[in-house]
């Protein structure tokens, strides 16, 4: 039976980041992922793009992944929030000396950089594709038996398996969840006018329309869109001819970027909310979507997972230096205290914004616009929102400050 300091179940963006962060501090991990890397790195696997906050990027830089992403992303210089196409906007425009609010990357670029770093890591063993046939936990250790019969053990199991984590279910951890009855339409569009590194969040009663700056391609400027539509409209939007889809998208953005072109296939996924009652159990810790799933309204889903990874890495590195059992209840309690409240507050805030901006009628519209106007007039509030966008609120793990533990 092969042993390591931790076994990470799930080799997505958060799971691999955690394994690489532990490797950077000399802790060993076995990452078990059922997805074939060749499929995961193929162009058509996942057409989504993600906004990596500045704090999350500090961690990627600190663990050596940032250098592998050099030149592949587009900085987010400012964020413009409007209620529909109203002329007045809430603009988050930080001091240029403080750097961008974040960087937009295609998920494929993030996966490739993380996979390369994982393969090069000294203390990380990536098993992919590999399917767990049996996952066991007891007072002594966590153990995983693969479908091919190989067996592994560690003091701690980490579930990074996504929204439908089987390890979380087997542990009996309760989950609060609901469906928004909306779908997110994902695409990358080329456009006539430059985006100026500005991200737009346009709120409509039918759902938010996010326009996110991407790196130019050979044909010119590009932006990613996350277009929220009613559930029953999702398939119809995917089936629209390109010309009709682009015409509808141009209406949604008020023609601000000029003539549009398709720069990627369209895809969609259902929108829902879930949050676990706790993020630890006996010799088990949850990270990323295994612990919480939120509406993409503020682009914080992946960054919440990165915050989990940074906090858990620090907790485990500190425990190892003290000679503690990495699966000890005291170690897991520190991670629970650190992350449970922060992730709940972010999840609750995004859920409240989704419901507030989804209310139709003149009165809710007037309240929303008044609120946006007040935030724009009160500098401390603006600074707080910019800190949230950067991922710099709360007690930051050292990795999110760009430092090793």
Task: Give me the numbers of helices (H) and strands (E) for the chain, helices first please.
Answer: 11, 22
pLDDT tens per residue, range 150-165: 999 999 999 999 999 9
Is the CATH number 3.40.190.10 carried by domain 2-177+272-401? no
> What is the pLDDT at residue 157?
98
φ/ψ (deg, to 5) at 135: -120, 120
Q: Domain extents for the chain?
A: 2-177+272-401
303 and 53 in contact (C-beta within 8 Å)? yes
Rounded CA separation 127/122 (Å): 14
> What is the pLDDT at residue 300?
83
Strand partners, 273: 178
pLDDT tens per residue, range 297-332: 767 889 999 999 999 999 999 999 999 999 999 999
Closest by alpha carbon to 53, among 377, 396, 404?
396
Return the higher-pLDDT residue of 148 and 367.
148
pTM, full prediction: 0.92
91 and 143 in contact (C-beta within 8 Å)? no
Closest by alpha carbon to 321, among 313, 311, 329, 310?
313
Closest by alpha carbon to 171, among 275, 283, 272?
283
Is the pLDDT at 367 greater than 90? The verdict is no
Is the pLDDT at 382 greater than 80? The verdict is no
**Terminal C-alpha separation, the chain:** 30
Closest by alpha carbon to 237, among 178, 174, 289, 184?
184
pLDDT tens per residue, range 50-94: 999 999 999 999 999 999 999 999 999 999 988 888 877 788 887
Cα distances (Å, whole numbers) of residue 397 to 14, 315, 335: 15, 9, 11
124 and 6 in contact (C-beta within 8 Å)? no
């Amino acid at each position: 039976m092969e042993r390591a300091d931790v076994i990470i179940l799930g080799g997505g963006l958060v799971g691999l980041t955690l394994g690489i962060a532990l490797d950077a501090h000399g802790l060993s991990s076995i990452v078990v992922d059922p997805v074939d890397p060749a499929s995961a790195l193929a162009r058509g696997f996942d057409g989504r793009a993600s906004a990596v906050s500045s704090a999350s990027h500090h961690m990627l830089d600190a663990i050596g992944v940032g250098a592998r992403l050099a030149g592949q992303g587009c900085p987010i210089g400012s964020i413009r929030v409007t209620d529909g196409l109203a002329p007045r906007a809430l603009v988050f425009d930080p001091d240029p000396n403080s750097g961008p609010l974040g960087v937009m990357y295609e998920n494929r670029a993030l996966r490739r950089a993380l996979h390369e770093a994982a393969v090069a890591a000294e203390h990380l063993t990536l098993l992919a594709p590999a399917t767990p046939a049996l996952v066991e936990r007891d007072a002594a250790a966590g153990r995983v038996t693969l479908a091919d019969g190989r067996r592994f053990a560690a003091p701690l199991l980490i579930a990074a398996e996504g929204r439908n984590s089987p390890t979380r279910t087997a542990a009996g951890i309760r989950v609060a969840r609901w469906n928004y009855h909306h779908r997110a339409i994902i695409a990358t569009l080329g456009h006539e006018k430059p985006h100026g590194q500005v991200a737009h969040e346009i709120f409509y009663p039918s759902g938010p329309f996010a326009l996110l700056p991407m790196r130019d391609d050979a044909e010119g400027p590009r932006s990613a869109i996350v277009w929220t539509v009613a559930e029953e409209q999702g398939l119809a939007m995917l089936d629209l001819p390109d010309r009709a889809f682009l015409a509808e998208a141009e209406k949604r953005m008020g023609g601000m970027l000029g003539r549009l072109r398709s720069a990627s296939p369209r895809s969609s996924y259902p929108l829902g909310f879930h949050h676990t009652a706790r993020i630890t159990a006996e010799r088990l810790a949850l990270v990323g979507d295994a612990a919480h799933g939120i509406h993409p309204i503020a682009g914080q889903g992946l960054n919440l997972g990165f915050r989990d990874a940074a906090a858990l890495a620090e907790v485990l590195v500190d425990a190892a230096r003290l000679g503690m059992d990495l699966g000890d209840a005291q170690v897991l309690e520190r991670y629970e205290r650190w992350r449970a409240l922060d992730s709940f507050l972010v999840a609750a805030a995004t859920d409240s914004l989704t419901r507030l901006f989804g209310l139709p009628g003149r009165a809710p519209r007037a309240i929303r616009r008044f609120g946006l106007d007040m935030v724009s007039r009160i500098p401390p509030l603006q600074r707080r929102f910019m800190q949230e966008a950067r991922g710099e609120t709360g007690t930051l793990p050292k990795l999110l400050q760009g430092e090793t533990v």
